[in-house]
Chain A
Amino acid sequence: MSRPTASPASGSPFTGTGDALRFALKRDRLLLPLCVLGLIGWVGLYVASYSGLYGTQADLNSLYQSVTGNPALVAMVGPTDGLRSLGGATAWETLPVVSVISAIFAMFVVVRHTRAEEEDGRSELLLAAGSGRLATLTATVVITAGALLLAAVGWYVVFLATGYEADSSLLLVAAILGVGLVFTGTTAICVQVTAKARTARGLVGIVIGLAYFLRALGDTGPDALAWLSPLGWAEKTKPFYDDQWWPLILPVGTTILTVAFALWLLERRDIGSGLIQPRPGPARAHPSLLHPLGFSLRVQRGSIIGWTYLLFVYGFAIGAVGNNIEGILESSTSLTAAFASASDNIVDSYFASIFTVLALMASGFAIGGVLRPHSEETHDRAALLMAGPLGKVRWALGHVLIAYVASAMMMALLGLGLGLGLGVVTGDFGELGTLVASGFAQAPAIWLTASLAVLLFGISSRASGAAWGLLVAFVVVWSIASFGDLPDWIVDLSPFSHIPAVPAVPLDATPLWIMTALSAVFTTAGMLLWRRRDLL
Chain B
Amino acid sequence: MSAVIEVDGLVKDFGSTRALDGLDLTVEQGQVHGFLGPNGSGKSTTIRVLLGLIKASGGSARLFGQDPWKNAVTLHRRLAYVPGDVNLWPNLTGGETIDMLGSLRGGLDPKRRQDLIDRFELDLTKKASTYSKGNRQKVALIAALATDAELFIFDEPTSGLDPLKEAVFQECVKEITGEGHTILLSSHILGQVEHLADTLTIINSGKTVESGSIEDLRRLSHETSDPNQPASLEQLFLQVYEPK
* Residue of A with least CB distance to B97: A285
- Interface 1/0s, chain A 295-327, versus B by CB < 8 A? 100110010000000000000000000000000
- In the assembled complex, B168 has its CB within 8 A of some CB on chain A: no
Docked complex Cα distance between A295 and B102 (Å): 12
Residues of B close to A391: CB separation below 8 A? 72-73
Tally of A-B residue pairs with Cβ under 8 A?
105
Please, what's the 1-or-0 string for A365-390, where 1 marks a CB less than 8 Å from any CB in chain B?
A: 00000000000000111011111111
Of the residues A278, A292, A383, A387, contact of B127 by C-beta under 8 Å:
A278
Does A535 count as interface, using CB distance less than 8 angstroms?
yes
Q: Are A389 and B89 in contact (CB under 8 A)?
A: no
A425 within 8 A of B: no
B223 to chain A, nearest CB (A): 40
Tell me which of B76, B81, B127 contacts A281 (CB under 8 A).
B127
Q: Which residue of B lies closest to A393 (CB)?
A: B73
| A456 smallest CB distance to B (angstroms) | 19
Q: Which of B196-237 contact A (CB under 8 A)?
A: none
Does A128 count as interface, using CB distance less than 8 angstroms?
A: no
**Pairwise interchain contact B55-A534, C-beta atoms closer than 8 A:** yes
Query: In the bound complex, do residue A295 and residue B90 qualify as a contact, i.e. CB atoms below 8 Å apart?
Result: no
- Contacting chain A: which of B27-35, B46-54, B172-180? B46-54
Residue A195, interface by CB 8 Å: yes
B190 at the interface (CB under 8 A from A): no
Q: Mark B104-136, 1 if CB is under 8 A from A, else 0.
A: 110100000000000000001111011000000
C-alpha spacing A356/B110, complex, angstroms: 51
Interface residues of A in 504-536 (CB under 8 A from B): 532, 534-535
A388 to B103, CA, bound (A): 10
Tell me the count of chain B residues lying within 8 A, CB to CB, of chain A: 42
Chain B 70-97 interface 0/1 with A at a Cβ cutoff of 8 Å (1 = within): 0011101101010101111111110111
| Cα(A295)–Cα(B92), bound, Å | 10
Given A290-B103, A389-B104, A535-B53, answer yes or no on A281-B93 (Cβ-Cβ < 8 Å).
Answer: yes
* Residue from A196, A278, A282, A291 within 8 A of B95 (CB atoms): A282
Interface of A is mostly: loop
Task: Determine the residue in chain A with the shortest Cβ distance to B127.
Answer: A278
Q: Which residues from chain B contact A302 at a C-beta distance below 8 Å?
A: 91
Query: B79, B90, B125: which contacts A196 (Cβ < 8 A)?
Result: B90
**Contact of A280 with B104 at beta-carbon distance under 8 Å, contacts A196-B90, A380-B85 already known:** no
In the complex, B101 has a CB within 8 A of chain A: yes
Chain A residues near B153: list those with CB within 8 A.
387
B72–A392 CB distance below 8 A: yes
Q: How far is the CA of A386 from the CA of B68 in the complex (A)?
A: 12
- Which residues of chain B come closer than 8 Å to A295, judged between CB atoms? 100
**B99 adjacent to A285 (CB under 8 Å):** yes
The complex places the Cα of A358 from the Cα of B196 at a distance, in Å, of 60
Interface residues in chain A, defined as those with a beta carbon under 8 Å from any beta carbon in chain B: 195-196, 278-286, 289-292, 295, 298-299, 302, 379-381, 383-392, 532, 534-535
